[in-house]
A = this chain, B = another copy of it.
Amino acid sequence: MATGRTLIRELASHLDGTVTVHGWIDTLRLQRRMQFVLVRDHTGLVQLAHRRGGEGDPIEAVLDTVTVESAVRITGKVLANPQVRLGGLEIVPERVEVLAAAESGLPIDERAGLDQRLDWRFLDLRRPSRRLVFEVQSTVERAMRAVAAEGGFTELHTPKLMGAASESGAEVFPVEYFGRTAYLAQSPQFYKQMAIAGGIDRVFEIGPVFRAEPSFTSRHATEFTGVDVEMAWVDGVEEVMEFEERMLRRVLAEVHAEHGERIAELLGAEVVVPKAPFPRITLADAMARLRAGGWDPEGTAVDLDPAGERALAALAAEESGHEFVFVTEYPAGVRPFYHHRPPGRPEVTASFDLLWKGVEITTGAQREHRYEVLCAQAREKGMELGPLARYLDCFRYGTPPHGGFGLGLARLLMLLLGLPSIREATFLFRGPHRLEP
């Protein structure tokens, strides 16, 4: 930390002392006799109170010309002043330095629309409520990693450049790669399974994933941070779900403890620490119950649509008071060939989605680990085995039973903080029409 720097939230312990504060000019209230200035750092706001000294007063001159959002360093005395709302104290400055002046007339203000705010994201982030999102994100990841470390996970970094498009190729970004084409990984799925095949017992990764989907909803991005988990030697998919439950409970408990009050104050959202177990319902049961309530009147749906997800969440909330619900046993027809199917039930997969507040945040499953079964399931879906050879090779030399899940970090943050869009939960959002800044 810079020599002698005092954070604004620590000022109370320096009453009557001299401190140096670094921050931005938040508000200027220049009066005839007094100059009042609010200075902001990442920990809070403090008022400077300077009595004008007239001609030759260097502080007066600086405060008369400094612009809002300039970066400043202030040295001064911390005095108690019960009339000041900001902690009942103020600083009487002895030295004011402008380290970097802001141009006057900021390009965005509190009335700016989302797109304009994203164009000037760094200015947007100077608002404490926006920055809070990323303080919470740090806590979320710290809690996830703590649970992973306790569970014996190895954190891996899987490649984002792939030699072949993983699935259909339709939603994959091509990259020019020394005269050939590479593709950006849509998910670490293949690689984390390869790690399991390599004897890494449990794999954890937080990293970027890329989706070339022209989607413009509040829940989609072309690049987002994925949280990926894969566990070897599982007895069944229930073990994977239990791990995710444990992880999310820890995340929400730590966010509640560290940021609950500020989230309520700045964002108006309440952080509820969920009880375990989360409710579970099979997709077939869920659809039957929703249809009884009028959903999908034609009876043609094979999966939940967003309206069905919301209706199911409402049902779960009503019956169990729970914000989460696991939907299990997706039919083999709607899940990829590599899903494991429970013994004797070839029509369903050992899979789940997790809904939170009516939005899907996770897809998970036990994977099929037996080479012959995998090949048969791929053929059943009408797939050619040739293009799958690299994937299938990983199952030729003794790969244990395993399962895992993937979760989008921004979607989790959006739901956690009650934000209207993942654009607000991403440092620099990327969508079909947005590659800047």
Binding site for B on A (CB under 8 A): 1-3, 5, 22, 24-25, 40-42, 67, 69-71, 99-103, 106, 121-126, 131, 134-135, 137-138, 141-142, 145, 149, 151-164, 173-178, 180, 182, 184, 191, 194-195, 197-201, 206-208, 210, 212, 214, 222-223, 225, 232-235, 239, 369-371, 390, 393-401, 409, 427-428, 430, 432-433, 435-437
Query: How many identical subunits does the complex contain?
Result: 2
A3's nearest neighbour on chain B, judged by CB, is B235
Given the known interface contacts A24-B398, A174-B176, the answer about A201 and B161 at a Cβ–Cβ threshold of 8 Å is no
Please determine whether A208 and B126 come into contact, CB atoms closer than 8 angstroms.
Answer: no
Given the known interface contacts A99-B369, A173-B176, A200-B125, the answer about A156 and B427 at a Cβ–Cβ threshold of 8 Å is yes
Please determine whether B141 and A155 come into contact, CB atoms closer than 8 angstroms.
Answer: yes
Please determine whether B174 and A154 come into contact, CB atoms closer than 8 angstroms.
Answer: no
Contacts of A397 in B (CB 8 A): 69, 102-103, 106, 122-123
Contacts of A153 in B (CB 8 A): 138
Contact of A200 among B134, B141, B142, B161 (CB under 8 A): B134
Contacts of A121 in B (CB 8 A): 194, 198
Shortest beta-carbon distance from A255 to chain B in Å: 15
Contacts of A208 in B (CB 8 A): 157, 159-160, 207-208
In the complex, what distance in Å separates the CA atom of A180 from the CA atom of B40? 40
Contact of A435 among B162, B201, B430 (CB under 8 A): B162
In the complex, what distance in Å separates the CA atom of A292 from the CA atom of B100? 43
Contacts of A191 in B (CB 8 A): 427-428
In the complex, what distance in Å separates the CA atom of A41 from the CA atom of B201? 8
Please determine whether B199 and A102 come into contact, CB atoms closer than 8 angstroms.
Answer: no
A174's nearest neighbour on chain B, judged by CB, is B176
In the complex, what distance in Å separates the CA atom of A126 from the CA atom of B102? 57
Please determine whether A432 and B400 come into contact, CB atoms closer than 8 angstroms.
Answer: no
Contact of A437 among B42, B178, B194 (CB under 8 A): B194
Contacts of A195 in B (CB 8 A): 122, 125, 427
Please determine whether B223 and A390 come into contact, CB atoms closer than 8 angstroms.
Answer: no
Please determine whether B145 and A69 come into contact, CB atoms closer than 8 angstroms.
Answer: no
Shortest beta-carbon distance from A138 to chain B in Å: 5
Q: Choose among A233, A398, A430 the residue with the greatest number of B CB atoms under 10 Å from its CB.
A: A398
Contacts of A430 in B (CB 8 A): 159, 161
A198's nearest neighbour on chain B, judged by CB, is B125
In the complex, what distance in Å separates the CA atom of A152 from the CA atom of B1? 10
Please determine whether A399 and B100 come into contact, CB atoms closer than 8 angstroms.
Answer: yes
Please determine whether A103 and B396 come into contact, CB atoms closer than 8 angstroms.
Answer: yes
Contact of A398 among B70, B158, B159, B184 (CB under 8 A): B70
Shortest beta-carbon distance from A394 to chain B in Å: 6
Q: Choose among A124, A145, A151 the residue with the greatest number of B CB atoms under 10 Å from its CB.
A: A145
Residue contacts A-B, CB under 8 angstroms, 26 given: A1-B152, A2-B233, A41-B199, A41-B201, A42-B201, A67-B398, A69-B397, A70-B398, A100-B395, A102-B397, A121-B198, A131-B198, A134-B200, A137-B155, A157-B206, A157-B225, A159-B427, A160-B210, A173-B176, A173-B182, A174-B175, A177-B435, A194-B428, A195-B427, A208-B208, A394-B437
Please determine whether B222 and A161 come into contact, CB atoms closer than 8 angstroms.
Answer: yes
Contacts of A69 in B (CB 8 A): 397-398
A192's nearest neighbour on chain B, judged by CB, is B427
Contacts of A163 in B (CB 8 A): 435-436
